């Protein structure tokens, strides 16, 4: 195996691997049940009531 053969293999299969990984991650983001999870994660920082309740529970 020389450098050129290894480079050609990495170029073709590496590109295919990165493309498939990208498509899987994009598809996973748009799964039907994940809308509520993404909404909760996006608004978690603005929900003061839950964070204050957790702080109060930790102090007592």
Choose among 29, 49, 48, 52: nearest CA to 39.
29
Greater pLDDT, 6 or 56: 6
Give the mean pLDDT of the chain: 83
- Quote the pLDDT of residue 20: 97
Q: How confident is the model at residue 2 (pLDDT cuts 50, 70, 90)?
A: confident
Q: Would you call 17 helix, strand, or coil by DSSP?
A: helix
Residues 6 or more apart whose CB falls under 8 angstroms from that of 22 comprise: none
What confidence score (pLDDT) does residue 21 get? 98
Residue 60 has pLDDT above 90, yes or no: no
């Amino acid at each position: 195996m020389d450098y050129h053969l290894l480079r050609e293999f990495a170029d073709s299969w590496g590109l295919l691997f990165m493309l498939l990984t990208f498509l899987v991650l994009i598809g996973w983001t748009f799964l039907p049940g994940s809308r509520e999870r993404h909404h909760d994660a996006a608004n978690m920082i603005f929900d003061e009531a839950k964070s204050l309740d957790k702080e109060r529970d930790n102090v007592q």
